[in-house]
Amino acid sequence: MDLDIKIESILFFKGEPVAIKKLAQILNVSEPEISDALKVLEEKLQDRGVCLMQKDDSVMLGTTPSSSELIESIIKEDLNKDLGKAGLETLSIILYRGPIRRSEIDYIRGVNSQFVLRHLLIRGLIEKEIDAKDQRVILYKPTFELMSYLGIKKLEELPEFSEVRKEIENFNAINKEDDETQENKSEQTLSEN
């Protein structure tokens, strides 16, 4: 039985995000093989009632966005669709610039974001991640729940997503040069006096 079929069964049964590493472990194959099989599954799900969502290295099945109205008509509890200005601003920064630390969010927004971040965490729209480079630093990133509310299967489906990522890379590159020149300059002045 092809790998993509087994993966779909697992994702359907689980009904929640599953890490690619976990799939590889369960199915006893390498992670690249899982990724290839996921492409096959994604292909098969073209114009189907179900779609494959992918974020970082986890995947999940969901109803296709075009069925949104249909499904909303049969669910009872009301969905919290409103987002205050602070919430919208903060989510946009995290979506386009995430994973990102709180001090950077405060820097961009010019305000303290502690309260709105906690609010978004509790609603499950963002999640915390420990910065691999520095254990003490907490980074904030989007969740599958947020992607579900936006109706996107991948972050790349956000308008201008790749342009913005490039803008950030260039911006950081220039800053890194500035910092380096700054450092050499301060070393120079150190050695001078």
Q: Which residues bind a second copy (CB under 8 A)?
A: 1-2, 4-16, 26-27, 41, 44, 47-50, 61, 63-64, 66-67, 70-71, 73-74, 77, 84, 86, 103, 106-107, 110-112, 114-115, 118, 121-124, 127-128, 136, 143, 145, 182, 186
Contact by Cβ (8 Å): 162, 156: yes
Q: Which amino acid is at 5?
A: I
Rounded CA-CA distance 84/111 in Å is 15
Nearer residue to other proteins within complex by CB, 30 or 183: 183
The residue from 65, 134, 173, 183 that contacts other proteins (CB under 8 A) is: 65
109 binds other proteins (CB under 8 A): yes
Strand partners, 52: 61
Nearer residue to other proteins within complex by CB, 81 or 136: 81
Q: How far lies 48's CA from each of 43, 44, 87, in Å?
A: 10, 8, 33
Rounded CA-CA distance 36/150 in Å is 26
Contacts of 60 (CB under 8 A, 6+ apart): 11, 16, 17, 18, 52, 53, 144
16 binds other proteins (CB under 8 A): yes
User: Shortest Cβ distance from residue 129 to other proteins (Å)?
Assistant: 15
Residue 82, binding choice from other proteins, a second copy, none, Cβ under 5 to 8 Å by partner class: other proteins
Contact by Cβ (8 Å): 60, 50: no
Nearer residue to a second copy within complex by CB, 8 or 155: 8
* Interacting positions 121-160 with other proteins (CB under 8 A): 121-125, 143-153, 158-160
Residue 47, binding choice from other proteins, a second copy, none, Cβ under 5 to 8 Å by partner class: a second copy
Rounded CA-CA distance 103/136 in Å is 13
